[in-house]
């Protein structure tokens, strides 16, 4: 009777499942990195001999950009010392951010207050022009209530 590891090894050697070996190598690669970088990296893949590293925040992108040489040398050492990872061939490293901050909807910052005045005041003037203005103010206050 075969063991589970033998069955999995046989399945992973099939041509249609070759991405499983790459995935396992990427897991080993990420395991070699420091913890804070492991948490910052969303995923990793290789395309056209370029190692793409997707990070979750722009701050980690700048930090990893300073350490591109370390990331490249780590990949070459993994390729050298681990037999199944010889197909990981990357000449350069590109780092990009996967998480984009969503813009929050801007709320109106103009405060709206309820009208506190009641519009009840006496008009003690004999001038018709002034009386008409006071009456306009009174009706405007009553409309805003």
* pLDDT, tens digit, 9 for 90 and up, residues 72-112: 999 999 988 988 788 888 888 999 998 766 666 666 666 67
Residue ranges covered by each domain of the chain: 8-97, 114-145
Integer Cα distance of 13 and 10 in angstroms = 5
Structure tokens at 20: 């499983």
pLDDT digits (tens, 9 = 90+) for 31-47: 999 999 999 999 999 89
pLDDT(28) > 80: yes
The dihedral through the CA atoms of 13, 15, 17, 23 has a sign that is positive
Q: Say how many Å lie between the first and final Cα of the chain, rounded.
A: 87
DSSP assignment, residue 126? Answer: -
Among residues of the chain, what percentage have pLDDT more than 70? 88
Fold entry, domain 8-97: GMP Synthetase; Chain A, domain 3 (3.30.300)
| Closest C-alpha to 38, from 74, 14, 9 | 74
Structure tokens at 14: 């099939």
CA atoms within 13 A on the CB side of 43: 6
pLDDT(67) > 70: yes
pLDDT, mean over the chain: 85
Provide φ and ψ at 86, rounded to 5°: -70, -20
């Amino acid at each position: 009777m075969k063991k589970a590891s033998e069955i999995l090894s046989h399945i992973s050697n099939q041509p249609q499942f070759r991405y499983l070996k790459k995935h396992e190598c990427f897991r080993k690669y990420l395991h070699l990195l420091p913890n804070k970088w492991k948490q910052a990296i969303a995923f990793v893949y290789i395309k056209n001999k370029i190692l793409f590293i997707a990070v979750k925040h722009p701050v980690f992108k700048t930090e990893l950009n300073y350490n591109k040489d370390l990331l490249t040398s780590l990949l070459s050492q993994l390729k050298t010392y681990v037999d199944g990872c010889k197909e990981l061939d990357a000449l350069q490293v590109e780092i990009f951010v996967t998480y984009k901050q969503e813009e929050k909807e801007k709320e109106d910052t103009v405060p709206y207050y309820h009208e506190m005045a009641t519009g009840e005041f006496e008009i003690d003037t004999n001038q018709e022009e002034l009386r008409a203005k006071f009456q306009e103010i009174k009706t405007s206050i009553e409309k805003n209530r």
